[in-house]
């Protein structure tokens, strides 16, 4: 037998949680305004943060020139039994073996990642494993639809951090926060090119843990990530290199890895570990 919930409890929950039942003497408009202010302050902080940062979040498209293969056939016995009708009857009129040969190349998208712009003249931070293939061609796609050819300008020797450079001016940029003041339970917002298909995807969660050490592999690399944030904001393949931000729209981490087979366990490099690299990039760009 199912437990019965007292009607009074349901009514109270509706009043406190949703603000749907008007009190005597209050207009519907007043109740709606109170309800809106109670339920959207937190949401509005997230919306504002995403609006502030999204223009500076980029999708990185990874392409390569791959060979075009065409199929053809050879007859290994051609000419050997032209004058021997018995052998021709045995092998039949034709004995073909399929072969493949290259017929030029074509450019194909083979992967993708994320990044964020730190200077108006086109310096973009991302993960090293995103741009690790020296034979690949990298294209940056902005949230407003603009595309730029990108060149790798830096790869850190100590962190899974790298930078791309595009030839542009007056680009939107992010604000770097202070990851030293981040606390467990704090709201975390991840933005990136999820699955290398859905650009500027937003996912919201919290900082789940601090100073984690994990072994990560991807992009032909295997490394140990130390002192990284753990978050339950959904981070998918393709989110690598994108920003993890707070509700003020400040970048507090760089999304870098996800635990396979887990439920929303992702990791981000604290932005304070990246700031010295960013400063060097900006000084060299000037």
Q: Which pairing describes strands 187-194 and 243-245: parallel, antiparallel, or unpaired?
A: antiparallel
Catalytic residue among 54, 59, 160, 232: 160
Catalytic residue among 54, 59, 114, 129: 129
Which tokens go with 91?
Answer: 């092998």
227 tagged catalytic: no
CA 113 to chain centre: 5
Q: d(Cα 191, Cα 235) in Å, to the nearest integer?
A: 9
240 tagged catalytic: yes
Pair 177, 252: CB distance under 8 Å: yes
Q: Which residues pair with 251 in a beta bridge?
A: 176, 245
Contacts of 109 (CB under 8 A, 6+ apart): 61, 62, 63, 196
129 tagged catalytic: yes
Which tokens go with 250?
Answer: 């400040």
Q: d(Cα 225, Cα 256) in Å, to the nearest integer?
A: 9
Which tokens go with 217?
Answer: 């592999």
Show which residues are catalytic: 129, 160, 240
């Amino acid at each position: 037998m199912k437990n019965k919930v007292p009607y009074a409890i349901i009514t109270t929950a509706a009043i406190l949680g949703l603000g749907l039942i008007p009190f005597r003497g209050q207009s519907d408009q007043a109740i709606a305004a109170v309800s809106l202010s109670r339920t959207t302050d937190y949401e509005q902080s997230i919306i504002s943060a995403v609006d502030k940062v999204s223009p500076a979040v980029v999708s990185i498209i990874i392409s390569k020139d791959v060979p075009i293969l065409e199929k053809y056939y050879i007859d290994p016995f051609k000419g050997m039994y032209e004058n021997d009708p018995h052998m021709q009857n045995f092998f039949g009129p034709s004995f073909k073996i399929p072969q493949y040969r290259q017929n030029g190349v074509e450019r194909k998208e083979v992967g993708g990642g994320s990044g964020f712009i730190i200077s108006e003249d086109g310096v973009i931070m991302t993960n090293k494993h995103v741009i690790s293939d020296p034979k690949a061609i990298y294209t940056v796609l902005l949230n407003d639809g603009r595309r730029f050819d990108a060149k790798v300008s830096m790869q850190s020797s100590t962190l899974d951090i790298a930078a791309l450079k595009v030839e542009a001016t007056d680009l939107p940029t992010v604000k770097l926060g202070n990851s030293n003041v981040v606390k467990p339970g704090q709201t975390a917002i991840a933005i990136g090119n999820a699955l290398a298909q859905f650009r500027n995807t937003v996912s919201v969660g919290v900082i789940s843990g601090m100073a984690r050490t994990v072994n990560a592999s991807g992009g032909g690399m295997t490394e140990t990530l130390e002192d990284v944030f753990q978050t339950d904001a959904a981070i998918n393949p393709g989110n690598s290199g994108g920003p993890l931000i707070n509700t003020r729209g400040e970048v507090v981490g760089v999304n870098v890895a996800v635990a396979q087979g887990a439920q929303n366990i992702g990791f981000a490099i604290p932005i304070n570990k990246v700031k010295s690299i960013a400063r060097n990039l900006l000084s060299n760009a000037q």
